[in-house]
Homo-oligomer: A and B are copies of this chain.
Amino acid sequence: MSRQPRKTDPGAEIHAAGSEGKAWRLTEGVVRFDSVGADGHGSFASLAIAGDLIGCETLLFGCYTFRATALTHCRLDPWPEGGVADKPALLASLNRIQQRAADLVALRGGQASERVLGLIRLLTDRNGRVILPTRQDIADITDLRFETISRIVKQLERDQVIRSIRLDGVHATRSFALA
């Protein structure tokens, strides 16, 4: 029995921390991971963007370490494709996780506007389009406040660093093209 690809809406929980499940490759969208404390409250831990793996810790433990939440429309494909992960695939994902971690650290240091711009660049596709998470999610990722994010995004728009575009099914405040 092979698993099916899975699609999610923005805001939907993909899996809870500690729940059982398998690993996936995120082929479209953005996912946030949260560490969940004993009280059930979560704090932002990591991010996955298209191409990243989700839940590879299940290969070791059988259950997920973090809570995963879709920040945009997402598509998840079962991983590993053949059902069994080989060593080169593991090495590649290990490397990707390491790189992503360095990106995240960079998004939490320096000037507020640089951080937001950094995240926008990270999320921009090869056509120069971005679908942003909500202001609150951007704030959680960058450790800023949503009011600050709102001001910065507006300012980037005024400075014509980004320009609002219209994609169907996406809030007007969240789809942009890089200038």
Number of copies: 2
Q: Complex formed: what's the CA distance from A121 to B93 in Å?
A: 29
For the complex, is A143 an interface residue (Cβ under 8 Å from B)?
yes
How far is the CB of A154 from the nearest CB of chain B, in Å? 23
Q: Complex formed: what's the CA distance from A114 to B84 in Å?
A: 42
The answer to whether A65 touches B98 (Cβ under 8 A) is: yes
With a cutoff of 8 Å between Cβ atoms, the chain B residues found around residue A105 in the complex are 44-46, 101, 104-105, 108
For the complex, is A179 an interface residue (Cβ under 8 Å from B)?
no
Tell me the dominant secondary structure on chain A's binding face: helix
How far is the CB of A163 from the nearest CB of chain B, in Å? 28
Chain A residues within 8 Å of chain B by Cβ, number: 35
Among A6-14, A53-61, A122-130, A167-175, the stretch that binds chain B is A53-61
For the complex, is A94 an interface residue (Cβ under 8 Å from B)?
yes
| 9 pairs of residues in contact across A and B, judged by CB atoms under 8 Å | A45-B102, A46-B98, A57-B95, A65-B95, A87-B90, A94-B94, A105-B108, A108-B143, A109-B143
Q: Footprint of B on A, CB under 8 Å?
A: 33, 35, 43-46, 56-57, 59-61, 65-66, 85, 87-88, 90-95, 97-102, 104-106, 108-110, 143
Q: A56-B95, A65-B98 given. 6 additional CB < 8 A pairs?
A: A59-B91, A60-B91, A60-B95, A98-B101, A105-B105, A109-B143
